[in-house]
Structure 1
Amino acid sequence: MTDSSFPTFVHSYLDNLYIKGRKASTIKRYEHDFSLFFRWLSQQTKGRTIESEWMNITKEQVQQFITYLFEEKEHQIRTVRRIHSALKQLAKYCIEENFCKEHPFAFSGAPELILTPLKPSEWVSSQEVSQFIQTLRSNKNLSEQQLEVRPLLKARNEFIVKLFLHYGLTLQEAVDLTMTQMKFESGTIEINGEADKRSIHLSQPDRQLAFSYYQKIPEPVRPRLHENDPFLVAFDFQRKTYRWSYEEDKPKQLTNIAIQKMIRLEVARGELRKGISAQHLRNRYILHALLQGELTENVQKKLGLKSPLSFHRYVLTIDKLTEEQRHDLLQQYGRKD
């Protein structure tokens, strides 16, 4: 998103800063921060305008954006706090000008300057993993309509979860996977991360799972081998088939919103605690890798992280784990190389 395409209320707020005599450099910094946020928000839209998406943003989305800044942009804490402050001021302005009655950013707290360990609620336990995988493989609590399309979606959904749980991919890395990155012959995935490219070697069961999902896609809408087609394809529940983008002349890419919704629905179907997300699965992967004795530098490379800062909370967490938590995190359900 360019500055000129900002929503109207953002232009109004920036003009207000100018009238108040803020320095040009300060306003420019605000523009940069807003551009980063609204680019991210535009990827979260659910058919609504960006203005409507801002006005209806949830507390969960606010936290997702903060996580995005830490995990994918790898910003330092002070930078994240600065961006959060800019968005908080924008939210307060929107309330004052009656653009909206309330806004989560106006009442959210900035991340602490001093990093703290992860709470146990921020990763999944081995029992939760076991229950989640069993749910993904079962037909428990499915409607007749869902049962009709279950054979097409079962392998896809489980493989998506395994990408986070067994290989530590970010949500965006999973969404962005293309057929050029999927190497079925060698059982590897080439990840084009922001920091560097890296290869992930799939276990034999996960390799079979990925290929099973691929073969289930009807041939007319199936991603083409060695092409830039998305590997994870959106599904049309009304037509009961995978979707094709006629504008781009290739399968319709599955969105991060759709993945989040799938996980949320499967968590509810499995009667697991609310709030379990891709990040919870990824957190378990990182803690598991560190507990196995892998060097921080090696785990960073596996995850494509650019700086030790993004890892600091995980290292702090390892130091604070109880013996019971350590034992639980060392369990790796369903991973057989």
Structure 2
Amino acid sequence: MMSLFKNLGKTVKPIPLPAHTMDLPGYVRMPDFIRSYIDHLASKNFSKATMRRYVYDFDSFFQFVAEASGESIQARDITQEAFLEIDGSGIAAYAEYLALTKQNAPSVINRKLSALQSLFRHLIDIGVLSENPVAKINRPKQAKRDPVYLTKREWDELMQLLPSNVEMNAREATHYERDRVRDITLFQLLGYSGMRLSEMTQLTWNAVDFHEGTIRVIGKGNKERVIPLAKPVRVALRKFAAHYSLTMRGPEPIFQKQGKALSPRAVQHILKRHVDRLRPVLPFLERKQITPHKLRHTFATRLATGGVDVLTIQQLLGHESVATTQVYAHIGDREKKRAIELFDSER
């Protein structure tokens, strides 16, 4: 019995991979200490999207190591001891490689460095490292840009043409007939709720309360928030349920395909397909790259221009910090000023 506890954690008995790794391409290629870190993130309720991005960024770093050393390296064979020998000059060389060789944008470079910095911070927390080699690296500066969003007129024009067969051939129109109501509902929900794409694809009928007029959303960090059910969304969901003979209750995802929740990538593809076909008749789509996240911006901007305070917008969007939300207040003020200027010019 004594030896059982003494050797706990040193057993050679194979342990099945954790469930969260099923959707993390590259997880099995990672070194043991990085897989342990990803498992740690999973235990803290980090989203799969975040963990997937970390694995991708760690893989990018090991590719750099292989290129810089000129050796054939299998990431899984790298030991924690060998990894901890890296210093600031090695991280600086990686940042330079990302900028000059890979020509990554500043935002991408900062994201990849942040992934490493988070890993090193974890290694410090567990007592195997004393200093974070990423902390003193000069990061590339990112230009601050206002979020891309649709004005009310642009949104109205888009929603007016979305149900139509404009710019479709006969075959495409026949195919669209099956998905028309679903696609309209997806757009309405994104534009009138401000939900993240991942939140919407996980939404169940049980989370929608038509009597109270609310949607219960599970966001980042497994945090719950409640969003008022806008009338266009209420109407769209009822039509959606009626059209596809759905019961409007239960724990199953609202949007499904072949019995499984519609994936975020599938929704991105659906939106892109409609934006591409409507671009010839809606000129603003030429200069605005509309994605599900841009419709989240559209929702937030509509609130800001309508005079909603920043703290309320923060709560509706599920932002951790109000600083993230502050940009919408800036846009709201600018749009109000422009409206007054137009009013004055008519006098």
TM-score by length of 2: 0.59
1:224-239 mapped onto 2 (5 Å cutoff): 224-234=247-257
Counterpart Cα distance in 1 of 2:59 and 2:146: 26
Query: Structure 1 residues 115 and 131 mapped into 2: Cα distance closer, same or farther (>3 Å)?
Result: same
What is the CA distance between 1:94 and its match in structure 2?
6.2
Query: Structure 1 residues 32 and 94 mapped into 2: Cα distance closer, same or farther (>3 Å)?
Result: farther
Counterpart Cα distance in 1 of 2:230 and 2:28: 50
Selected match of 1:260 from 255, 262, 268: 268
Query: Structure 1 residues 291 and 126 mapped into 2: Cα distance closer, same or farther (>3 Å)?
Result: closer
* Equivalent in the alignment of 2:345: none
What is the CA distance between 1:188 and its match in structure 2?
2.9
Matched, 1:176 2:202: yes
Letter in 2 for 1:156: R
Query: Structure 1 residues 325 and 277 mapped into 2: Cα distance closer, same or farther (>3 Å)?
Result: farther
Instruction: Give the aligned length.
Output: 257
* Equivalent in the alignment of 2:80: none
Deviates more, 1:259-268 or 1:146-155: 146-155
Counterpart Cα distance in 2 of 1:188 and 1:133: 23
What is the CA distance between 1:321 and its match in structure 2?
6.1
| Kept after mapping to 1: 8 A contact 2:198/2:264 | yes
What is the CA distance between 1:161 and its match in structure 2?
1.3
What is the CA distance between 1:28 and its match in structure 2?
6.7
Counterpart Cα distance in 2 of 1:27 and 1:149: 43
* Equivalent in the alignment of 1:107: 103
| Kept after mapping to 2: 8 A contact 1:178/1:229 | yes
What is the CA distance between 1:301 and its match in structure 2?
1.3
Q: Which structure 2 segments of 5+ residues have no match?
A: 1-19, 75-96, 111-138, 280-284, 343-347
Larger Rg over CA atoms: 2
Letter in 2 for 1:308: V
Counterpart Cα distance in 2 of 1:297 and 1:317: 15
Query: Structure 1 residues 127 and 316 mapped into 2: Cα distance closer, same or farther (>3 Å)?
Result: closer
| Kept after mapping to 2: 8 A contact 1:179/1:231 | yes
1:280-295 mapped onto 2 (5 Å cutoff): 280-295=294-309
| Kept after mapping to 2: 8 A contact 1:124/1:281 | yes
What is the CA distance between 1:307 and its match in structure 2?
2.1
* Equivalent in the alignment of 1:7: 26
1:9-158 mapped onto 2 (5 Å cutoff): 10-11=29-30, 14=31, 39-40=48-49, 86=58, 88-93=60-65, 106-108=102-104, 109=106, 110-111=109-110, 117-119=144-146, 122-158=148-184
Counterpart Cα distance in 2 of 1:126 and 1:255: 28
* Equivalent in the alignment of 1:60: none
Letter in 2 for 1:283: H
| Kept after mapping to 2: 8 A contact 1:267/1:276 | yes
Letter in 1 for 2:319: L
* Equivalent in the alignment of 1:301: 315
Letter in 1 for 2:239: S
> What is the DSSP-based 3-state SS (H/G/I as helix, E as strand, rest coil) of the residue aligned with 1:180?
helix
| Kept after mapping to 2: 8 A contact 1:152/1:213 | no
Write out per-residue CA displacement over residues 261-293 of structure 1, whole angstroms, 9 at most, x where no aligned residue.
Answer: 011000011112263101111112212222322
Counterpart Cα distance in 1 of 2:149 and 2:255: 25
* Equivalent in the alignment of 2:231: 204
What is the CA distance between 1:194 and its match in structure 2?
3.4
What is the CA distance between 1:152 and its match in structure 2?
3.6
TM-score by length of 1: 0.60
Query: Structure 1 residues 168 and 38 mapped into 2: Cα distance closer, same or farther (>3 Å)?
Result: closer
Write out per-residue CA displacement over residues 91-113 of structure 1, whole angstroms, 9 at most, x where no aligned residue.
Answer: 524656599xx999943223578
What is the CA distance between 1:211 and its match in structure 2?
0.9
Query: Structure 1 residues 95 and 209 mapped into 2: Cα distance closer, same or farther (>3 Å)?
Result: farther
Counterpart Cα distance in 1 of 2:341 and 2:242: 38
Q: Which structure 1 segments of 5+ residues have no match?
A: 16-23, 44-64, 66-79, 235-242, 246-251, 329-337
Write out per-residue CA displacement over residues 143-187 of structure 1, whole angstroms, 9 at most, x where no aligned residue.
Answer: 333323434422221221122222211101110111111234444
What is the CA distance between 1:231 and its match in structure 2?
0.5
What is the CA distance between 1:40 and its match in structure 2?
2.4
